[in-house]
Structure 1
């Protein structure tokens, strides 16, 4: 699939997928649909990237960099409520001196997001889960301010060598969580005395309360 040449073309492609099942879409594109997501956690996102012509692949940039748009699929229940937190990007644990919110990877990724809700309840077989109506979102002034406050709080703790003190309770919209395939996949960081340490890689995630708030702004149940 060729990359969309405009925002309107991307939105039309996304709208055309609404109502179809993952099985129907994957079959049309010749992509095998797994029985479940236990070993294929990123499969739904990969399928939608292929269908919509995303260009980023594994590169650390927006999925549609030429349009300045990031794609996020979001599993929801029958009432449209998100079922899990949304990964934003990997968090830097070293070399963060002087980094400001305005130029951060998190803000860049969240500056314009194409959200595509997908049925996510485990009682529905993966191939039968339907794709929902897409929406294009940018943070409001208030949302940006809270995301910034969360990011600054978390980055301050990292800079102070307290990365291992960060829990899921930190951050109102944005949280920092371990992101690793296993407990042996360690990365470099710093301790409270500035000493080099090894710790699990971390990722920034959006809380489900926040993504529910985003969806609710567009879809009134």
Structure 2
């Protein structure tokens, strides 16, 4: 059980998955591999959560709250470059006054991450794709500074009622963009005049150049 597992055991468990295909891990846990990820976007994360005994589910906690560890998969291409941005957490769009970086869910989620690289090549059938070498990451002082700077900039604009003017290009390492199943899913946000408006939910994502730097530094590429 996850509750009796320490960080060393979790890391060993994650490291032991390296080289196994999704089909092999899924079979070991009684799960079915979907044909592709178009309608099953979070499936790989769910597979690895099952394999490692993550306990948080979709709560606003780390995946292993008792260890203070968040699990993140990172799909890579043949050259070892990240293929997509990494979702961190949903973004608060109301009642943001007084919210600080120290108390933010972004900081909470990123204080210690168990990264699991995965084969993201779309030309390989999903069942045959393999899991890579897991590694633990904590932001350096410089990385945390960049994350905090971007988070503060995004949150200031949300507080000022400018959420709909924020684009994915903004932020050096952390971007803000819509996070919804479809365009009919709307939520409350602060409007330009301080009134409540309806808008798409937003999520914080790590930009690929940031995660690429983490990969390069970790594996000395």
Alignment pair present for 1:137 and 2:137: yes
Q: Which position in structure 2 is the counterpart of 1:160?
A: 160
Q: Which position in structure 2 is the counterpart of 1:110?
A: 110
Q: Which position in structure 1 is the counterpart of 2:185?
A: 185
Cα distance in 2 for partners of 1:166, 1:7 equals 37
For the residue of structure 2 that corresponds to 1:214, the secondary structure is helix
Which aligned pairs between 1:8-157 and structure 2 lie closer than 5 A? 8-157=8-157
For the residue of structure 1 that corresponds to 2:145, the secondary structure is helix
Per-residue CA distance 1:46-92 (angstroms, 9 max, x = gap): 00000001000121100000000000011101111110000000000
Q: Which position in structure 2 is the counterpart of 1:173?
A: 173
For the residue of structure 2 that corresponds to 1:17, the secondary structure is coil
> Which runs of 5 or more structure 2 residues have no equivalent in the other structure?
none
TM-score by length of 1: 0.98
For the residue of structure 1 that corresponds to 2:16, the secondary structure is helix
Q: Which position in structure 2 is the counterpart of 1:219?
A: 219
Per-residue CA distance 1:144-192 (angstroms, 9 max, x = gap): 0000000000000000000000001110000000011111100001111
TM-score by length of 2: 0.98
Cα distance in 1 for partners of 2:109, 2:79 equals 27
> Which runs of 5 or more structure 1 residues have no equivalent in the other structure?
none
Shift of 1:220: 2.5
Shift of 1:30: 1.0
Q: Which position in structure 1 is the counterpart of 2:208?
A: 208
Cα distance in 1 for partners of 2:75, 2:96 equals 32
Cα distance in 1 for partners of 2:38, 2:185 equals 20
Per-residue CA distance 1:104-137 (angstroms, 9 max, x = gap): 0100000000000000010010011010000100
For the residue of structure 2 that corresponds to 1:114, the secondary structure is strand
Cα distance in 2 for partners of 1:128, 1:87 equals 24
